[in-house]
Amino acid sequence: MVNRTKILAALLIPTLAVSACNTSTGFDQNIDRTQTKQGAIVGGLIGAVAGMSTGGDNRVERRQGAVRGALIGAGLGAAIGNELDKQAAELRRDMDNNEVMIQNTGDRLIVTLPQDILFAVNSTHITPSLRSDLAVLAQNLINYPNSTIQIIGHTDNTGSAEYNQSLSTERALAVSSVLQQNGVPQFRIQSMGRGESQPIASNLTPEGRAQNRRVDVVILPNS
């Protein structure tokens, strides 16, 4: 089964890539379509594997099921990827802050808010300048309602692990509160703290510790 899947993937990827390139969006054609194409290919491969399982022991039926599954999966994957492309482009356009990072991974958006501009030292009160950015983010989330939002607080390793865990949780809840105040429904939001457990840079340098002090807003499309 594994070998069949690998062979099928090799045969289908060129077709799926062409299908992804031909996806019509009706939006600004200058947007980078990389994530849309990746979504189509990944969706197509998943659909192909699922479709193969519908043919039983008949090789022809398995192959036909794989093709049907690939086409359906590619369409769904491209649709999700295209929606994320549009949402990310609008968020970058409206949020005029170069310190806020917006990453499109193909299956989700990750908006990273550095804690040094979001909060004062050891505080859970959001700075006034960032409240306007969170208002922009909230409006974007309202415009794209078909998603779940994870708000994840992170710290560096300064201080005790217990304190950092508590601080990261309280800061995630603070961001969640501002988004809700700006109209994002509570049921869409999941808030959590990860403390110092998930660094993205070395804690041995001030620059690395600054990168690790952050709140990630992860936007997950509902399939």
The residues spanned by each domain of the chain are 2-85, 95-221
Q: Residue 141 pLDDT more than 80?
A: yes
Give residue 223's pLDDT: 76
Q: Residue 4 pLDDT more than 80?
A: no
Closest to 113 measured CA to CA, from 146, 82, 90, 136? 136
* Mean pLDDT of the region 136-165: 97
Is 0.85 surpassed by the pTM of this model?
A: no
Give residue 120's pLDDT: 85
Higher pLDDT pick, 7 / 88: 88
Q: Lowest-confidence range among 25-29, 146-150, 186-190, 200-204?
A: 25-29
CATH C-level class of 95-221: alpha beta
What is the rounded CA–CA span in Å between residue 35 and residue 80? 9
* Mean pLDDT of the region 178-191: 98
* Mean pLDDT of the region 175-191: 98
Q: Where residue 31 falls among pLDDT bands split at 50, 70, 90?
A: very low
The identity of residue 162, as a single letter, is E
* Mean pLDDT of the region 107-136: 92
Q: Where residue 121 falls among pLDDT bands split at 50, 70, 90?
A: confident
CA 10 remoteness from chain centre: 27
Q: Where residue 21 falls among pLDDT bands split at 50, 70, 90?
A: very low
CA distance readout (Å), 169 to 79, 109, 116, 165, 176: 33, 21, 16, 6, 11
3-state DSSP assignment of residue 117 = helix
Give residue 79's pLDDT: 65
- CB within 8 Å of 78: residues ≥ 6 apart: 19, 20, 23, 36, 37, 39, 40, 43
Q: What is the mean pLDDT of the chain?
A: 79
